[in-house]
Amino acid sequence: MTEGNGGLMTGSGTNGQRITPSDISGRVREIMGGAGDTVEQVSSAAVAVAAALGTGLVLAAFLFGRRRGRRRSTLVEVVRV
């Protein structure tokens, strides 16, 4: 960007016209529009992966706890005479 015309900031694509806040916000919306769709797709996939990992972790904890409980439990046999 160059400074000319008494402090007026102009860019290479403005043809000497003043850049307004609406120009900037419009450009940001244009750029973020495509990125917003990608973010939604990635976040839905991330939620699915997190749910699968959480379910697997709970299942693994249950199975390992069950195995440890069987190994450490005492077997008492009662015989009637």
* pLDDT tens string 16-50: 788 899 999 888 888 777 666 677 778 888 999 99
- Please indicate whether residue 61 or residue 30 has the higher confidence score (pLDDT): 61
Cα torsion angle, 36, 42, 44, 47, sign: negative
Q: What is the pLDDT of residue 27?
A: 87
Task: Note whether residue 78 is domain-resident.
Answer: no
| Interatomic CA distance for residues 55 and 4, integer angstroms | 62
Give me the mean pLDDT over the 58-75 stretch: 80
Task: Note whether residue 81 is domain-resident.
Answer: no
Confidence (pTM) = 0.41
Q: Is 4 within 8 Å of 10 (Cβ atoms)? A: yes
**Number of other CB atoms surrounding residue 8 within 10 Å:** 13
Dump strand ranges (E) for the chain. 2-4, 8-10
**Number of domains composing the chain:** 1
Give me the mean pLDDT over the 44-66 stretch: 92
Task: Note whether residue 34 is domain-resident.
Answer: yes
Domain range enclosing 48: 2-72
- pLDDT above 70 covers a percentage of the chain that reads 70
Q: What is the three-class DSSP state of 2?
A: strand
